[in-house]
């Protein structure tokens, strides 16, 4: 009977663990994920800012693993684990048995105790669905500003608050600033998109707090050149649909009127971490991640591994104080390590020996954050560089990491087009957006009587010319003689209700 390896999560960690087992003898791998695709999360912000489409940064798992014959891909959601029976339970109550288990479920947004109130108002950036929702809000904000005549309300629509000045927050704020300043220039008739206000709020004292101080300084300068307002050393105390309140610390709290808040202030372990803690008596850190040993295994369970963002792993050679960061390189390396060690352990134990795995060591290949077109910061070992050179390095690395040759070609083409034309090809509003808050401009009232566009209650852009003519107000009637008044009034009374019903029932508002 083959050794059964179950991998939960098709991200960087899970996918690389599966790939590392492609040459393993007598091994059967089952990859379980809630989605049927592998997502390149570092580029999610480009979907949210309309630079790329979701398909550009996602690859179907079955296609990626089509040549690896020892893999089964299962679309499912893991809800429970049984360490005694060694089974994984899916949401539909299917039980998947395992001999070795690899958990790479990732993280979710952390609203620090305000999940119920803030999550609907301030979406994060952890999934394709969230990225598309942010894109919708971003583009709709400009559309609503175009129709709004109240300058105070318009200013609120054009105020964007990004919470958290880590790489996600820095990249989002820079991208939104470029959209407002360059991409949308000359596209709106009743306001200047460049008047948009972008605020980046960080609780610590500088942007990119995990980077070197010099890199943080250069990142801040590049953001300020784009017009981003940076608030550091302050936290949000309230997030509402029409405003946020920034805690002042020693100062008075500040209320900011805004209709768009994007969350990038932190993450916590996937809810599966709670199941691991309960079933395997594992320890969780303050970010709800599973604390693992030097082989990325749950203490006391050498055949159960937790990797990537879901794991709290301390590598003293990397840092004596902090666990490894939740970045793609950590997950990728841990996935390769775990897959390789499972294979080695099976080979050694098949010869009757006891296998002791080596300690996992993280190799830091550097950190990069893009700020805008031709703007970035990069740290590779002791070498730090900024501006255009860092931006080119960022492009090269991210294209190299993309899964699938087709995705690499498409993304390169999109980036080249965007760089040369300042356009963002994915700038579309899909689905059924809520247009109830988009007012009709009162300028329609100033049109001449009889003009089919004089009625502000009718959206004539949705109607043909014939329908617009039918809805036009009737021409004024001529004065009538007293003898004919009774008959004329009767004709008017029978005509007016019909006209009213056409406006109220048959025309979309």
Any idea which residues carry the catalytic annotation?
171
What does the block give as tokens for 30? 């089952």
Distance set, CA 214 to CA 122, 225, 470 (Å): 30, 17, 67
What does the block give as tokens for 472? 């036009």
Distance set, CA 25 to CA 2, 44, 103, 277, 335 (Å): 8, 37, 22, 32, 18
Distance set, CA 476 to CA 103, 281, 294, 449, 503 (Å): 76, 84, 88, 10, 19
Calculated CA dihedral for residues 443, 444, 447, 450, nearest 10 degrees: -170
Vertex 127, ends 292 and 281: CA angle to 5°? Answer: 25
Distance set, CA 184 to CA 126, 140, 181 (Å): 26, 13, 7
Helix axes 167-178, 213-225, angle to 10 degrees: 20
User: Rounded to an integer, what distance in angstroms lies between the CA atom of residue 397 and that of residue 483?
Assistant: 89
Distance set, CA 339 to CA 15, 91, 109 (Å): 10, 26, 28
Longest dimension (CA), the chain: 118
Name the residue among 126, 95, 170 with its Cα closest to residue 378.
170
Q: Hey, CA dihedral for 300, 302, 308, 310, is it positive or negative?
A: negative
User: Rounded to an integer, what distance in angstroms lies between the CA atom of residue 378 and that of residue 184?
Assistant: 29
What does the block give as tokens for 77? 């959601």
Phi, psi of 456 (to 5 degrees): -70, -10
Residue located via tokens 């059967």: 28
Vertex 149, ends 145 and 151: CA angle to 5°? Answer: 80
Please report how many Cα atoms fall inside a 13 Å half-sphere around the Cα of residue 80, on the Cβ side.
Answer: 9
């Amino acid at each position: 009977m083959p050794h059964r390896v179950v991998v939960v999560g098709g991200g960087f960690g899970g996918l690389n663990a599966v790939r590392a087992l492609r040459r393993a003898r007598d091994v059967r791998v089952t990859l379980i994920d809630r989605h049927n695709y592998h997502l390149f999360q570092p580029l999610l912000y480009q979907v949210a800012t309309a630079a790329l489409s979701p398909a550009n940064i996602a690859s179907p798992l079955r296609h990626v693993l089509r040549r690896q014959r020892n893999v089964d891909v299962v679309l499912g959601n893991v809800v429970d684990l049984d360490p005694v029976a060694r089974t994984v339970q899916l949401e539909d109550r299917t039980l998947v048995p395992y001999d070795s288990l690899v958990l790479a479920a990732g993280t979710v947004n952390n609203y620090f105790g305000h999940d119920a109130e803030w999550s609907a108002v301030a979406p994060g950036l952890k999934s394709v669905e969230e990225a598309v929702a942010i894109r919708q809000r971003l583009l709709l904000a400009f559309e609503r500003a175009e129709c709004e005549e109240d300058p105070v309300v318009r200013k609120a629509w054009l105020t964007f608050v990004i919470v958290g000045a880590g790489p996600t927050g820095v990249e989002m704020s820079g991208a939104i600033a470029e959209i407002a300043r360059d991409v949308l220039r000359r596209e709106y008739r009743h306001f200047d998109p460049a008047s948009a206000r972008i605020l980046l709020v960080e609780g610590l004292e500088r942007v990119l707090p995990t980077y070197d101080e010099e890199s943080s300084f250069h990142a801040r300068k590049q953001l300020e050149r784009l017009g981003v307002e940076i608030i550091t050393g302050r936290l949000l105390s309230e997030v509402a649909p029409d405003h946020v309140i920034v805690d002042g610390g020693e100062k008075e709290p500040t209320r900011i009127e805004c209709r768009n808040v994007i969350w990038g202030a932190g993450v916590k372990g996937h809810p599966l971490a709670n199941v691991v803690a309960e079933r395997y008596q594992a320890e969780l850190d303050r970010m709800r991640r599973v604390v693992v040993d030097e082989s990325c295994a749950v203490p006391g369970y050498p055949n159960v591994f937790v990797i990537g963002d879901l794991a709290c792993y301390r590598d003293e050679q990397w840092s004596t104080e902090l666990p490894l960061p939740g970045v793609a390189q950590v997950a990728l390396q841990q996935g390769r390590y775990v897959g390789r060690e499972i294979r080695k352990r099976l080979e050694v134990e098949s010869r009757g020996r006891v296998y002791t795995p080596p300690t996992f060591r993280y190799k830091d290949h550097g950190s990069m954050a893009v700020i805008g077109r031709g703007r970035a910061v990069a740290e590779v070992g002791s070498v730090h560089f900024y501006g255009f050179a860092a931006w080119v390095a960022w492009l090269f690395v991210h294209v190299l990491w993309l899964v699938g040759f087709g995705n690499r070609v498409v993304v390169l083409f999109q980036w080249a087009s965007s760089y040369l034309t300042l356009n963002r090809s994915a700038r579309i509003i899909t689905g059924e957006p809520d247009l109830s808050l988009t007012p009709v401009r009162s300028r329609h009232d100033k049109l001449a009587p009889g003009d089919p566009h004089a009625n502000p209650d009718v959206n004539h852009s949705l109607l043909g010319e014939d329908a617009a003519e039918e809805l036009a107000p009737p021409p004024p009637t001529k004065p009538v003689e007293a003898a004919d008044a009774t008959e004329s009034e009767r004709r008017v009374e029978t005509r007016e209700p019909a006209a009213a019903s056409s406006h109220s029932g048959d025309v979309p508002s």
